[in-house]
Amino acid sequence: MRFTRTFLAAFSLTCNWVHLANAAASSDSPRDADRGQSSYVGGDHNIDPETVSQFKHLWNASFNPGEKHWARPLVHTLPSTGRQIVFTASTENRVRTFDAATGELIAERQISPPWPLNTTNCTELGETMGIMGTPVIYTDYEDGIAFFYVKSYIEDYRTPGGAAPALNGVYYLYGVYLTTLQDLYKFPLFIDDVPHDNDPRKVFIGGLVLQRPSLLLLGDMLYAGFGGICDAYNFTGSVVAVNLGSRNIYRWATQAGPDSGHTDDWTLRNGGGAGGIWQAGAGLASDGKDVFFTVDKGGDLVGAGVFNSPVSGKTHLDMLSGSVTRISLNEENGLGVQLVDWFKPADYQANYSHDIGSSGFAVLDEGFKTAEGKKIGVASGKKSKLYIHDLDNLGGYRQGLNSSDGVLQTIHLDGQVFGGIGSYPLEGGYIYAYPENAPLSAYAFTSSANTSQLFTLVGRSSSRSSGAGTPTVTSNQGKSGTGIVWVTDVTRGLVAYKAVPVNGTLVEIPLPKVNGAIKYGRPVFGDGRVYVIDGSGKLVALGAK
Ligand SMILES: *[C@@H]1O[C@H](CO)[C@@H](O)[C@H](O)[C@H]1NC(C)=O
Ligand SMILES: *[C@@H]1O[C@H](CO)[C@@H](O)[C@H](O)[C@H]1NC(C)=O
Ligand SMILES: *[C@@H]1O[C@H](CO)[C@@H](O)[C@H](O)[C@H]1NC(C)=O
Ligand SMILES: *[C@@H]1O[C@H](CO)[C@@H](O)[C@H](O)[C@H]1NC(C)=O
Ligand SMILES: *[C@@H]1O[C@H](CO)[C@@H](O)[C@H](O)[C@H]1NC(C)=O
Ligand SMILES: *[C@@H]1O[C@H](CO)[C@@H](O)[C@H](O)[C@H]1NC(C)=O
Ligand SMILES: *[C@@H]1O[C@H](CO)[C@@H](O)[C@H](O)[C@H]1NC(C)=O
Ligand SMILES: *[C@@H]1O[C@H](CO)[C@@H](O)[C@H](O)[C@H]1NC(C)=O
């Protein structure tokens, strides 16, 4: 209770959370990549191709058999001691902290029992389902607080059958102090059994959904995306936004209104309209104000004839399907979450599963701007394309010439993208895609007035991917020549390339071998070190020291 009083005092004095400068060490990773999901994690990890050539295995940690870490580890330095720690969260609802340098286990806690997954057709996710979306660390309060969603159950809560029926599953939002792993005052929050704000028929039932995308923290507002459990049950996709100070909760469904799918038969597949947000785990992205993400297949507006001609992305839609989506939440105006803009590919087919929901959206660094000063966002997905968007005019449906995509540029890829793209805003600017069964490819940026020339293919890796993760880019203090693109690969483990290709080739930097990687993974960085979940589920630390 010692922290509690201080916390409350700080809160009630300011009516808002106190934001202290420099509370996070610059080499920390308090969230999944960057706020925009541009996957450039900045220049503060003291890592360059020279130090990487001296990398060795520093330590590794094993977990329980069957326990999975889909959530990426996070790295944080405790201001009180200066000790850097790695925080992990698993499908068994176990959270742990490790010393980032030595791998010593500092603290461990099982938050609550995870939900047994064996009644679903989704056992590839693990034996149980607990924490899956990557947590986020609130760094500006004492030694830091980790927030994350916990999937658990209450026996016989809504239907007989104990824990197993999905209908008895629930979600909690936890906040735990990183020093003790004990609960933040007035947490956890129970978020179930309340209708979505934009459709009162649709009650949020945590058991029927999966919190997969990494969390997004904007000031004191925490955003989380929810989708289906291998598309079972009558789920609808949603965003839950929680004001961590006031604990006000907003629930926004991707499928809302009288025409959207709804049924009280919870066992009916797609009965709730679907339209999940999963992004192969990639985080919700932000420009600092609004939130961007992709929605999987949902209400069939093309088939229903709503979309037989071009529609502006500024037109309100009750149902989003295979769409890039921008929402805005302004607590002062009392409107709750509002749809601001969207994009749906011109070749969308409701009967075809190749949609764009397998990949998140990237808000690129402001250094990437068109000749006209437009900011840039990038979407990808199962269409084997990169869509280069005007961030403030995503493109609606068929808003381009002759009913084509109303985007700045479309780049054709050799495969489907899961997770998202990487970017490097230095040395002219590059973006990277790592499609399935294809090489890692680098595209150079020019702020051309002809926007179909903004990005040009300039380099490829010599090997092809399998179970590829999202490219993630580091530099050493932003110095030229130090950029590194990191990717995980189910068979090849962790792989690093120089960020700037040489004569059409992405040059690999040798690393100590990591035995495979978790599917759709991504490395995490600390003070001169890199952490990754390998193919056997171990947490592996590489570094020079
Ligand atoms: C993990 O650590 C153990 C003991 O420290 C060591 O023997 C083993 O080689 C390590 N494994 C890997 C993959 O580095
Ligand atoms: C599922 O797992 C739970 C917990 O391990 C177990 O009690 C139950 O019998 C299993 N059910 C099936 C159908 O395998
Ligand atoms: C699992 O798959 C079987 C066979 O396809 C199907 O009958 C059943 O409804 C599925 N279960 C769920 C929970 O989706
Ligand atoms: C699914 O079924 C449950 C239980 O009847 C209901 O409360 C909920 O509103 C339904 N969800 C959707 C999205 O239709
Ligand atoms: C989907 O529908 C379109 C047009 O409605 C049709 O041309 C196409 O062949 C269908 N595709 C599949 C995979 O059934
Ligand atoms: C648009 O379509 C018309 C009619 O099919 C065609 O003549 C014209 O070349 C097309 N323009 C472009 C820019 O593709
Ligand atoms: C813009 O660039 C594309 C691709 O290089 C080219 O085909 C097209 O002709 C250019 N358009 C103009 C107006 O220069
Ligand atoms: C790149 O290609 C040019 C022209 O073929 C050659 O002169 C140069 O040495 C090459 N650079 C590298 C680093 O291979």
State residue 308's pLDDT score: 77
Which residue type sits at 465?
S
User: In this structure, which amino acid lies at residue 143?
Assistant: D
What's the CA-to-centroid distance between 127 and ligand 2, angstroms?
10
Atom of ligand 7 nearest to the CA of 452: 2
CA 373 to ligand 7 center in whole angstroms: 19
First and final C-alpha spacing in the chain: 38
Best substitution site from 158, 201, 205 to test ligand 4's pocket, by max atoms within 8 Å of Cβ? 205
Q: Span 78-105, mean pLDDT?
A: 97
% of the chain at pLDDT higher than 70 = 95
Is residue 367 lining ligand 2, measured as CB closer than 6 Å?
no
188 prior amide bond cis, ω within 30: yes
* Length, in residues, of the chain: 545
121: which 2 tokens? 């057709």
How many angstroms separate the alpha carbon of residue 517 from the centre of ligand 2?
28
Q: Distance, CA 352 to ligand 5 centroid (Å)?
A: 7
What confidence tens digit (pLDDT) does each residue in 425-472 have? 999 999 999 999 999 999 999 999 999 999 999 999 999 998 899 999
Span 365-370, mean pLDDT?
A: 96
Beta bridge partners of 293: 325
Give the pLDDT score at 115.
97
Q: Among 3-7, 89-93, 283-287, 298-302, which stretch is predicted with the lowest mean pLDDT?
A: 3-7
What pLDDT sits at residue 396? 97
Query: pLDDT at residue 180 above 90?
Result: yes
Pocket residues: Cβ below 6 A from ligand 3: 120-121, 232, 269
Which residue's alpha carbon is at the smallest distance from atom 5 of ligand 5? 349
Structure confidence at residue 443 (pLDDT)? 98
- Closest ligand 4 atom, residue 167 Cα: 4
Mean pLDDT of 14-30: 57
pLDDT value at 7 more than 60: no
> 351 in ligand 5 pocket by Cβ < 6 Å?
yes
Q: Does ligand 4 come within 6 angstroms of the Cβ of 202? A: yes
Instruction: Give the number of other Cβ atoms within 10 Å of residue 510's Cβ.
Output: 10
Lowest mean pLDDT among 112-126, 379-393, 519-533: 112-126
Q: How far is the CA of 176 from the centre of ligand 2 (A)?
A: 30
Poorest-confidence range of 21-25, 357-361, 402-406, 516-520? Answer: 21-25
Q: Whose CA is nearest to atom 11 of ligand 2?
A: 118
| pLDDT score for 360 | 98
> What spacing in Å lies between the alpha carbon of 503 and ligand 8's midpoint?
6
152 strand-pairing partners? 170
Both structure tokens of 5: 């009083």
Give residue-wise pLDDT tens across range 195-249: 999 999 999 999 999 999 999 999 999 999 999 999 999 999 999 999 999 999 9
Distance of CA 121 from the midpoint of ligand 2 (Å)? 13
Rounded to the nearest angstrom, the distance between the alpha carbon of 61 and the centre of ligand 1 is 8
Nearest to 100 by CA among 79, 80, 81, 76: 76
pTM of the model: 0.94
Spans of all domains in the chain = 23-543
Q: State the average pLDDT over residues 283-287.
A: 98
CATH fit for domain 23-543, picks 3.30.930.10, 2.140.10.10, 3.40.225.10, 2.60.40.1510: 2.140.10.10
Task: For the chain, count helices (H), then strands (E).
Answer: 2, 37
Q: Which token pair is 511?
A: 């690393």
Residue nearest to atom 1 of ligand 3 (CA): 121
What residues have CB less than 8 Å from 450, skipping those under 6 apart? none
112 by Cβ neighbours in 10 Å (0-12 / 13-18 / 19+) ranks as middle
Q: Per-residue confidence at 15, pLDDT binned at 50, 70, 90?
A: very low
Q: Whose CA is nearest to atom 1 of ligand 2?
A: 118
Per-residue pLDDT at 383 exceeds 90: yes
Query: Which of 401, 452, 457 best tests ligand 7's pocket when mutated (most atoms within 8 Å of CB)?
Result: 452
Give the confidence band of 24 by pLDDT, cuts at 50, 70, 90: low
Tell the residue number behind the tokens 């965003």, with chain if given: 239
The pLDDT score that the predictor gives to residue 10 is 40
pLDDT value at 13 more than 70: no
Nearest to 299 by CA among 345, 253, 337: 253
Ligand 8 pocket test, candidate residues 502, 503, 505, 507, most atoms within 8 A of CB: 503
Whole-angstrom Cα distance, residue 410 to residue 384?
10
CA-proximal residue: ligand 7, atom 13 (nearest): 450
Q: Which of 119-123, 391-395, 466-470 has the lowest mean pLDDT?
A: 119-123
- Neighbour-count burial of 105, counting CB atoms closer than 10 A to its CB (0-12 exposed, 13-18 middle, 19+ buried): exposed
What is the 8-class DSSP label of residue 207? Answer: G
